């Protein structure tokens, strides 16, 4: 799991057919995570720009967003209320 802040969204007019109708967000991991660079994550929880979120990666991301047969490597699985 990665904790990060939603910095923006991604608009994609062409994508894998399994991803049609999904929202993609740009997430910047917190400094404590020790990860540099932003992550593009599928969003099924309705996160907004500026919110702190939990991001699952790898196969956990596909399972967490019910996209087992989709090319998903990162998924927002929760919105953090308090650290």
Mean pLDDT for each consecutive 10-residue tract of the chain (83 residues)?
95 86 93 90 93 91 75 91 90
Give the domain extent around 21.
2-79
DSSP state of 21: T
Q: What pLDDT is stored for residue 13 in this prediction? A: 85
pLDDT at 74: 93
Mean pLDDT, all residues of the chain: 89
Residues contacting 17, CB < 8 A, separation 6+: none
Q: What is the DSSP secondary-structure string of 22-69?
A: -EEEEEEE-GGGT--S-EEEEESS---TT-EEEEEETHHHHHHTT-TT
User: What is the CATH classification number for the domain harbouring 39?
Assistant: 2.40.50.220
* Predicted pLDDT of residue 59: 82
Residue 17: the pLDDT is 85
Please give the tally of structural domains in the chain: 1
């Amino acid at each position: 799991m990665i904790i990060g802040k939603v910095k923006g969204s991604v608009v994609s007019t062409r994508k894998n057919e399994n991803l049609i109708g999904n929202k993609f967000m740009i997430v910047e991991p917190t400094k404590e995570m020790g990860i540099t660079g932003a992550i593009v994550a599928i969003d099924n929880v309705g996160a907004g720009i500026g919110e702190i979120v939990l991001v699952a990666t790898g196969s956990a991301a596909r399972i967490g967003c019910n996209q087992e047969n989709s090319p998903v490597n990162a998924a927002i699985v929760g919105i953090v209320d308090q650290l």
